[in-house]
């Protein structure tokens, strides 16, 4: 196995640059830059995901659909850390289960597109493919090799700020009130959240009195980073042969993020993405939708994880509310019969996208569909003696109006009030907390 073998395989979603020499220069520069994350951190996450797969922890993953270079700024980063921390607090407290947090952040730039062109103001132009390929403005749509290097530096700055905030007490459980609920409209959610915070404050005060508040997990929280491993030239340039801390043997690690996933559009068995992914040590995700059969899914697992390492693979299921019942059982049964033990994670977003009617015609999702797919996943796993052990959401800490419904009862004609996504519609803070309360209540039963 080599780190370049993917280059001889068919590749979906490949990018054609007009200046190949500039691409080579960018990749050479990237190869010389230091890792953003280390094998030690990567293997720590792998060990945590093994616990998730075995049902001892819960995986919460979330962030923007398309991260922009412009989001590399204190406020949007704080907003996302905050909403993920609040959701994990709800899950830890409600479900009494430790939570592993992975942000879709510090590198979630490349986007697969169903159509490579679109018509803007009567003119056909290339689609926006993410900030590391081209820009959103119509005149920036030509793929620009300089964006590969920019991508690294924006990831580095985001990750640096994330690490700095965490080591400065941002996630300290002694101050959960400072993760304000200013963007939460629903009084009911506000109240439920306040009750949790009050209970935690009381518990901590008791532990302090008896001298039992010495665990470092009270003062901070671990956060891991992730993105879709779509642009393989970029991923390869940050893939390094480094000693595996668990056995000191040099192996390939993708040092651009702790966790990478293969999208539903690029998971072909004989394709370039699967070839690349089977060569790295990082824990990885595979998005699976309604078009994959149980047999093909098992072949995919055998190819990517031939030793059947527990928790190495996270299966991110995204069927849509109307298809989950039909497809998930088949997939669980096939995987159970194969002996693989993956992390089963529900992405209730990507199978539930539709376009609202004119005049606005905005891409949206119904909160009710999202919750319905989540509920069905929880139930179907339970019926099969399996366990849904994670959720994967597109969300933001802002008060956006991109998904309809939820406890704010947002209507389709209100979407344009604060519709800010550059790709798929995200849950706002209110809707994200709604989802966390639902899962916490399910596990408390
Ligand atoms: C995504 O996660 O933004 C995405 C494109 O997902 P999928 O591959 O499931 O369509
Ligand atoms: Mn998306």
ipTM computed for the complex:
0.98
Question: CB of 284 within 8 A of CB of 277?
Answer: yes
Determine whether the annotation assigns residue 363 to a binding site. no
Local confidence band at 274 (pLDDT 50, 70, 90 cut-offs): very high
Range with lowest mean pLDDT among 161-165, 185-189, 323-327, 328-332: 185-189
Local confidence band at 170 (pLDDT 50, 70, 90 cut-offs): confident
| Burial of residue 291 (number of CB atoms within 10 Å: 0-12, 13-18, 19+) | exposed
104, 110, 227, 265, best to mutate for ligand 1 pocket (most atoms within 8 Å of CB) = 265
Range with lowest mean pLDDT among 11-25, 85-99, 311-325: 85-99
The ligand whose atoms approach the alpha carbon of 320 most closely is 1
Q: How far is the CA of 197 from the centre of ligand 1 (A)?
A: 34
pTM of the model: 0.96
pLDDT in tens, 250-263: 999 999 999 999 99
The ligand whose atoms approach the alpha carbon of 286 most closely is 1
pLDDT in tens, 51-91: 999 999 999 999 999 999 999 999 999 999 999 999 999 99
Can you give the pLDDT at residue 72? 98
Measured CA to CA, the distance from residue 102 to residue 390 in angstroms comes to 11
Measured CA to CA, the distance from residue 189 to residue 85 in angstroms comes to 15
Question: CB of 241 within 8 A of CB of 251?
Answer: yes
Can you give the pLDDT at residue 277? 98
Can you give the pLDDT at residue 114? 93
Neighbouring CB atoms inside 10 A of 273's CB total: 25
Per DSSP, 271 falls in state S
Rank 177-181, 344-348, 360-364, 431-435 by mean pLDDT and report only the highest: 344-348
Structure tokens at 277: 């992914």
Structure tokens at 356: 């609202």
61, 65, 319, 426, best to mutate for ligand 1 pocket (most atoms within 8 Å of CB) = 65
Residue in 303, 310, 148, 139 with CA at minimum distance from that of residue 235: 148
Q: Check pocket membership of 129 for ligand 1, CB cut-off 6 A.
A: no
Element (H, E) at 435: helix 429-444
Determine whether the annotation assigns residue 273 to a binding site. no
User: 184 vs 350, which has greater pLDDT?
Assistant: 350
Structure tokens at 96: 């009494």
Residue in 197, 250, 242 with CA at minimum distance from that of residue 85: 197
pLDDT in tens, 363-400: 999 999 999 999 999 999 999 999 999 999 999 988 89
Q: Is residue 206's pLDDT more than 90?
A: no
Q: Is residue 24's pLDDT more than 90?
A: yes
Q: Is residue 129's pLDDT more than 70?
A: yes
Residue in 398, 421, 406 with CA at minimum distance from that of residue 369: 406
Measured CA to CA, the distance from residue 82 to residue 87 in angstroms comes to 9
Can you give the pLDDT at residue 177? 61
Beta strands in 338-433 (DSSP E): 343-346, 353-355, 363-365, 390-394
Neighbouring CB atoms inside 10 A of 188's CB total: 11
Local confidence band at 445 (pLDDT 50, 70, 90 cut-offs): low
């Amino acid at each position: 196995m080599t780190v370049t073998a993917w280059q001889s395989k068919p590749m979906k979603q490949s990018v054609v640059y007009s200046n190949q020499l500039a691409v080579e220069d960018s990749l050479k520069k990237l190869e010389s830059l230091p890792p953003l994350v280390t094998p030690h951190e990567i293997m720590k996450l792998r060990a945590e995901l093994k616990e998730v797969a075995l049902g001892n922890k819960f995986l919460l993953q979330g962030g923007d659909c398309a991260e922009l270079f412009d989001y590399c700024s204190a406020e949007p980063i704080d907003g996302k850390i905050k909403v993920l921390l609040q959701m994990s607090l709800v899950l830890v407290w409600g479900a009494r289960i430790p939570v592993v947090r992975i942000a879709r952040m510090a590198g979630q730039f490349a986007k697969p597109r169903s159509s490579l062109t679109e018509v803007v103001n009567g003119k056909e132009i290339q689609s926006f493919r993410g900030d590391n390929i081209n820009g959103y403005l119509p005149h920036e749509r030509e793929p620009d090799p300089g964006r590969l290097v920019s991508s690294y530096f924006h990831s580095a700055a985001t990750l640096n700020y994330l690490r700095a905030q965490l080591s400065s007490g941002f996630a300290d459980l002694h101050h959960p009130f400072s993760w304000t609920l200013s963007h939460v409209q629903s009084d009911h959610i506000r109240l439920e959240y306040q009750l949790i915070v009050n209970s935690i404050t009381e518990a901590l005060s008791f532990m302090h009195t008896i001298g039992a508040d010495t665990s470092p997990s009270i003062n901070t929280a671990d956060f891991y980073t992730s993105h879709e491993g779509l642009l393989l030239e970029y991923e390869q340039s940050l893939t390094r042969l480094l000693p595996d801390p668990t056995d000191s043997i040099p192996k390939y690690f993708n040092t651009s993020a702790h966790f990478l996933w293969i999208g539903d559009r690029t998971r072909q068995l004989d394709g370039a993405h699967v070839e690349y992914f089977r060569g790295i040590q990082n824990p990885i995700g595979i998005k699976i939708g309604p078009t994959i059969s149980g047999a093909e899914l098992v072949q995919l697992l055998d190819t990517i994880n031939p030793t059947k390492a527990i928790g190495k693979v996270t299966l991110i299921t995204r069927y849509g509310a109307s298809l989950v019942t039909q497809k998930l059982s088949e997939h669980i049964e096939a995987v159970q019969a194969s002996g693989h033990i993956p992390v089963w994670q529900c992405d209730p977003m990507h199978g539930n996208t539709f376009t609202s009617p004119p005049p606005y015609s905005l891409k949206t999702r119904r909160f009710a569909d999202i919750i319905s797919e989540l509920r069905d996943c929880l139930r179907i796993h339970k019926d099969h003696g399996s366990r849904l052990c994670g959720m994967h959401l597109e969300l933001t800490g802002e008060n956006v109006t991109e998904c309809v419904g939820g406890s704010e009862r947002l209507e389709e004609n209100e979407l344009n009030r604060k519709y800010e996504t550059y790709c798929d519609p995200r849950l706002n803070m209110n809707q994200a907390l709604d989802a966390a309360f639902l899962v916490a209540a399910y596990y408390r039963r």
